[in-house]
Structure 1
Amino acid sequence: MAIHTSPAFNSLHSTKGAIMKIRLLTLWIARSPQRCQDWKEVSPNKKVSYDVDTRWNSTYIMIQDALRLQTELGQFVRIHPEVQALQLIDDEWSTLQQVAKILKPFWDHTNSVSKACPTIVESLPIYWSLDDLLNDVRNAEGDFEDVNIEIRNAVERGIRKMNKFARKMDDNLLYYVASVLDPRIKSSLIVSQMSEQDSGLIVSQPFVSREVDHLRPPGMSETMWKTLRKVQPSKEVSLSDIDKYLDSPPVNWSHHMIGDADAEWVLKWWKANAFNFPLMAKAARDYLPIPSAEVGIEREFSNARDVLGLRRHRLNAETMRWLMLLRGKSQA
């Protein structure tokens, strides 16, 4: 990859963004063993990772590397005047810092979903927190009051793309149901993020009160059943556990209680309160175990490719299944 200091080159690339300059400089170094050696003399142990421009986490890593090696990059360009056009000015370094600040939450959420593999109950808070982040950038509010107009315009296009996929959530109530089934949240998150009409429609669809069965429960004597029917208030008898759950305030949690930080807190809460909310507990058993991402399945396919080597193309499906099961058990 040859880069020359011709006027055409300077005119073309001086108007490129800071990210493009880092990409070109990183690629230019990597394409020559001699330039790689020159870079090692400037930075013996660290280098800038070349990114995949369609993956934000990859770009975030490249930007973070560049920010950490800002001094080294400047020194390298001074040694190689043929790429002087790729020298970043102060405003461009400031732009990289702003972009890194925006991309960091995406990086953090991706890592949390990939490593911890949380259940679907955390999906909606993640999506809406990112939505709030992008809106703050677009409107230059909160921590992004000083963001430049180019980044705001790029985020505006990103919001349109995100809304395209977010609208697909309206066809699948799983995310909303899982959020309501978190007793610390219930319907409060949906009500705060959506209009009154939309939030009321979403909450009412999956959680419709049922008629309470007034038949005598199995195992209870007829005398006890009649006695309970007399002493229990009629309103309590007819009130569905769905109504009791949704009408009661969200469960308080504390920073100081170790148990409240448990990753399985929601599942344990429903196990402990299944008797009080039997209908809702059934919904919790159905919805809450759903993973928030398909990372587990993707890993299985990656592991399967390792098992299905070049000399194992004739393995039948049953043998492959047993090999994957044994591999998974050995890694557990």
Structure 2
Amino acid sequence: MLDSVSQQYDEVTTILLDNNQYDKIGCINKYILGCLVAFLKPFKDAANDLESDNTALSAALVLPWSVKLKVEHCEVAKADPRLNVIASACAQRLDELLSPCSLVPNGINMLYKIATFLTPKLRHLRMIDANERQQVTEAVKELTEEMGFHFETGENAEPPPPKKVTFRDFEEWEDVGAMGADLQSLDSEIEDYLKVKLDGSESHQPNDILMWWKKHCYEFPTLAKLARHVLCIPGSSAPSERAFSICGRILEERRSMLKPSTVNNLLFLHGCSKNPVA
């Protein structure tokens, strides 16, 4: 709205002057309005990125966008006297959202941080400090154990081989139970994932990230399984809200007998018309 006023300021001023209503816009400083629009533009870009139907894997973008807006945008804008108040308020709110404390209301969920960790080019989490990186790594291990992924060894996991005979006389030399071995292998898997060299041709495109995990699913079986479950989480509820809104227009009074499969197909076709496949 502010951007629209800024772009059409001269035209609106002319019309209001012709109708003796200049007081409706005379109190607006055009220069300050332009500064405010320029300050808010990155926030609009972030919202579009996280709410767009075209942005797959948007969960991985929540943490980078939040840090970028706070550190590289708000902190710089605070030096401008015209923007100091609003920039300080925005920086304070972003700082609350980025707080690792679980008691902060509406803070960035750990799943979003895990999603960023599972994005190969952002896996080192350089946007946060070492303590928070360690927390994310521990959260990956806890989530993996909670969902039982450490019991599987790949996309086509086979049942474990029959348990070998245990020799009573050599128990002190035998390996620990399977759970300990799985947790140890997960630590090694995470360490290898952080060390793996990326191909320079790989980009940040969502399809490339998904293809990367498909390509490396046998090299990092547990993390690949986790990536399939975490990276599908949307960064915003806006796409689903739009889907419900469209569904409400499809299931109207004169079309109340549509089968669920028909509604699903119509929603799919609507999505294809907005995002045609190349």
TM-score, scaled to structure 2: 0.68
CA contact (8 A) 1:169 1:175 kept: no
Q: What does residue 122 of structure 2 align with?
A: 185
Quote the Cα distance in structure 1 between the aligned partners of 2:108 and 2:46: 24
CA contact (8 A) 2:66 2:94 kept: no
Q: Which structure 2 residue ranges, 5 or more long, are not aligned?
A: 99-103, 153-158, 165-182, 273-278
Q: Which structure 1 residue ranges, 5 or more long, are not aligned?
A: 1-61, 141-146, 223-237
Larger radius of gyration: 1
Distance 1:154 1:330, change over 3 A: closer
Does 2:75 correspond to 1:135?
Answer: yes
Does 2:110 correspond to 1:173?
Answer: yes
How far the C-alpha of 1:269 sits from its partner, in A, is: 0.9
CA contact (8 A) 2:60 2:116 kept: yes
Structure scoring higher RCO (CA < 8 A, sep ≥ 6) equals 2
Does 2:84 correspond to 1:152?
Answer: yes
CA contact (8 A) 2:62 2:235 kept: yes
How far the C-alpha of 1:287 sits from its partner, in A, is: 1.2
Distance 1:184 1:251, change over 3 A: farther
CA contact (8 A) 1:212 1:240 kept: no
Quote the Cα distance in structure 1 between the aligned partners of 2:92 and 2:31: 25
Q: What does residue 102 of structure 1 align with?
A: 39
Instruction: Choose 294-303 or 199-208, whichever is displaced more.
Output: 199-208
- 1:293 aligned to which of 215, 233, 236: 236
Distance 1:329 1:71, change over 3 A: closer
CA contact (8 A) 1:182 1:266 kept: yes
Q: What does residue 229 of structure 1 align with?
A: none
Q: Mapping of 1:134-283 within 5 angstroms?
A: 134-138=74-78, 140=79, 147-149=80-82, 151-166=83-98, 167-168=104-105, 172-189=109-126, 192-194=127-129, 196-207=130-141, 240-246=185-191, 248-249=194-195, 251-252=197-198, 254=200, 257=201, 259-283=202-226
Does 2:22 correspond to 1:83?
Answer: yes
CA contact (8 A) 1:241 1:278 kept: no
Q: What does residue 247 of structure 2 align with?
A: 304
SS of structure 2 residue aligned to 1:205: helix
Quote the Cα distance in structure 2 between the aligned partners of 1:262 and 1:165: 26
Distance 1:289 1:87, change over 3 A: same
Quote the Cα distance in structure 2 between the aligned partners of 1:72 and 1:106: 27
> Percent of aligned pairs with the same residue?
19
Matched to 1:116, the amino acid is N
Quote the Cα distance in structure 1 between the aligned partners of 2:114 and 2:233: 11
TM-score, scaled to structure 1: 0.58
Quote the Cα distance in structure 1 between the aligned partners of 2:8 and 2:151: 67
- Superposition RMSD in Å: 3.6
Distance 1:82 1:153, change over 3 A: same
Does 2:52 correspond to 1:117?
Answer: no
Quote the Cα distance in structure 2 between the aligned partners of 1:304 and 1:93: 42
Distance 1:245 1:202, change over 3 A: closer
Q: How many residues are matched?
A: 233
User: How far does the alpha carbon of each residue in 1:267-291 deviate from its partner, in whole angstroms, 9 at most, with x for none?
Assistant: 1111111111112122112212222
How far the C-alpha of 1:106 sits from its partner, in A, is: 1.8
